[in-house]
Structure 1
Amino acid sequence: MIIIIIIIKIIIIIIEVVVVVVVVVVVVVVVVVVVVVVEEVLEVVVVLVVIVVVVVVVEEEVVELVVVVVVVVVVVVVVVVVVEVVAVVVIVVVVVVVVVVEVVVVEVVVVVVVVVVVVVVVVVVVVVVVVVIVVVVYM
């Protein structure tokens, strides 16, 4: 009887470990995919911003154009770095939560999705604001 109880407890521990590993892998994959997608979107935004800046500033001096392009590129690079750092922090936090607290898989996925959506929205808003400011300043 005691042996059966011990075997059942070992099976339960193995199942918990497998669930934790699966959740961690899923979270890492989701975050990596989101980071890659965000980077691709940001690259497109950079090209669009540069085109807008070139079109708006065509009549201005070359020095001003170079300054504007450099500023836009620096802002976008900073945004990309911030997004990557946030993604790494999200991965670490989720792994710690899953391992320490043993949260249910669904809750972890929901938390990750919400955090990622918030990060993407913030990035898009920042980029749009920068583009609008650049266009308004140099019109």
Structure 2
Amino acid sequence: MSKHIYKNATAHLPEHCRPTAEILTQFGGKWAIAVIGQLNAGPRRFSELADAISGISERMLTLTLRTLERDGLIERHVTPSVPPRVDYELSARGRSLQEPLIALHIWATEHMADIEESRREFDASDR
């Protein structure tokens, strides 16, 4: 796989902001969160993940899994068989991410209605 998909999206930021920005960039799309959420219940095969995550293409699932594996958040296990069985599961690092993601989910749920209202007000203004 080409390494060109791994861009340094935070190169322009001050050094002290980069770690947080890099992590938030990783989860800026919906697919990484969806995959991590599915793997929170335990190991899954590729096809199980594809079936469970509505709207994700096989290519996007593959890219998301590779990125999460590259970051050490998931582990890929291949069982020799015909065809080979491949299972994905959260690594210890991925499991340690559950608490902050749940806290972020709670915050978003509590504030989404207010944020939507702010957006409506902003969009209706003459800005």
TM over 0.5: no
Larger Cα Rg: Structure 1 or Structure 2?
A: 1
Higher RCO structure, 1 or 2 (CA under 8 Å, sep 6+): 1
TM-score (norm 2): 0.22
TM-score (norm 1): 0.21
